[in-house]
Amino acid sequence: MPEVAVSSPASRGLSDRLSDLLWSRQGLLILLLILPPALWLGIIYLGALFALLAQSFFSIDPFSGLINYEFTLRTYGELFRAANLDIIVRTVLMAGCVTIAAMIVGFPVAYYAARYARGKWKALFYLGVMLPLWSSYLVKVYSWKLILAKEGILSWLFETLHLSWLLDAYLLLPVVGGNSLSVSWTGTFLVFLYVWLPFMILPTQAALERVPPSMLEASGDLGARPGQTFRHVLLPLALPGIVAGSIFTFSLTLGDYIIPQIVGTSARMIGQAVYQFQGTAGNIPLAAAFAVVPILIMGVYLYIAKRMGAFNAL
């Protein structure tokens, strides 16, 4: 290595000695390596999480609107008012629906990519999932505003196929319908499904790739019909990957406040409640208490996922 030889002797002496010290004391080296990231994450991230937790135990003075910095559980009590419970139940239901739909839509893509795609097609499938995953979140939401708008492409498609009556009948349905798709729960659901789908496909595909094809063949040789092989062999083996994907779809839906704000009804979800309480309402304690709800739900969810072996599939 000629470049090494030219470096100046003085600086080499110092760096050599420092190097010897670190090499002989591996613990010190590890400490030096880990200290900057641990400090950054520990102070900024964990510190902020504790600040959030602390705020949720404060309350807001109903007359002055100022934060009362005294320990109280009153703010958490407010979560159990009917209006706030509604928000929580609605959000969890939506997260559940989106997760189940993502499993159904994502599975064939993951299965085809894992088992049948080879060479060029494999790369195509990989990029075909990666590009939507990484492309701009807001642009993706925006594109659905274009699609679902009253004068947009979906209405046009129904009209061209002479099926407008079907769309109109669907919009008249309670709960899922509305004035147009862009202000209905169906719209919110479709956008959530679209935006989080790649997060389901990637871990599912990874789990399916680890299933040896010989097992499927053995199952068939032993007389199982394709449906039985799917239910008793393929699905149990892929389950950790699917559960891992569901962690993302569930958690991301739980905390999102932008999608229901842009496409959806006026009824709020947890994210919107947090955003409004900390912003316009200036009620940071209640916003903080609301933010603790998804943390708790995800805590339970992660515990169950861990029991099902999802972490080995990540």
Partner 1 sequence: MHSDRASLGLKIAAAAGLLFMHLPILLIFVYAFTTEDKSYQWPPPGYTLKWFSVTWERPDVWEALSLSLRVAAISTVVALVLGTLCAAAVSRTRFFGREAISLLVILPIALPGIITGISLRSAFNLADIPFSFWTIVLGHATFCVVVVYNNAVARFRRTSGSLVEASMDLGANMFQTFRHVILPNIATALLAGGMLAFALSFDEVIVTTFTAGQQQTLPIWMLEELVRPRQRPVTNVVAMVVVLVTFLPILGAYYLTRGTEMVAGQGK
Residue closer to partner 1 (CB basis): 70 or 175: 70
Residue closer to partner 1 (CB basis): 11 or 175: 11
Q: CA nearest 107: which of 43, 173, 19, 202? A: 202
Residue closer to partner 1 (CB basis): 185 or 274: 274
Asked whether the beta carbons of 94 and 257 are under 8 A apart, the reply is no
Q: Name 129's Cβ contacts closer than 8 Å, sequence gap at least 6.
A: 109, 113, 198, 201, 202, 205
Distances (CA, A) of 53 to 30, 108, 280, 301: 31, 41, 21, 20
The CB-side HSE value for 185 (13 A sphere, CA atoms) comes to 17
Taking the complex as a whole, the smallest distance from the CB of residue 70 to partner 1 amounts, in Å, to 14
Residue closer to partner 1 (CB basis): 98 or 174: 98
Burial code of 152-191, b = ≥16 C-beta within 10 A, e = fewer? bebbeebeeeeeeeebeeebeeeeebbebbbbbbbbbbbb
Q: Which residue has the tokens 């389950």?
A: 239
Asked whether the beta carbons of 103 and 242 are under 8 A apart, the reply is yes
First to last CA, the chain: 41
Taking the complex as a whole, the smallest distance from the CB of residue 295 to partner 1 amounts, in Å, to 6
Taking the complex as a whole, the smallest distance from the CB of residue 78 to partner 1 amounts, in Å, to 16
Residue closer to partner 1 (CB basis): 174 or 221: 221
Taking the complex as a whole, the smallest distance from the CB of residue 145 to partner 1 amounts, in Å, to 7
Taking the complex as a whole, the smallest distance from the CB of residue 101 to partner 1 amounts, in Å, to 11
Taking the complex as a whole, the smallest distance from the CB of residue 51 to partner 1 amounts, in Å, to 4
Residue closer to partner 1 (CB basis): 155 or 246: 155
Taking the complex as a whole, the smallest distance from the CB of residue 264 to partner 1 amounts, in Å, to 13
Taking the complex as a whole, the smallest distance from the CB of residue 174 to partner 1 amounts, in Å, to 26
Residue closer to partner 1 (CB basis): 136 or 175: 136
Residue closer to partner 1 (CB basis): 57 or 174: 57
Asked whether the beta carbons of 305 and 311 are under 8 A apart, the reply is yes
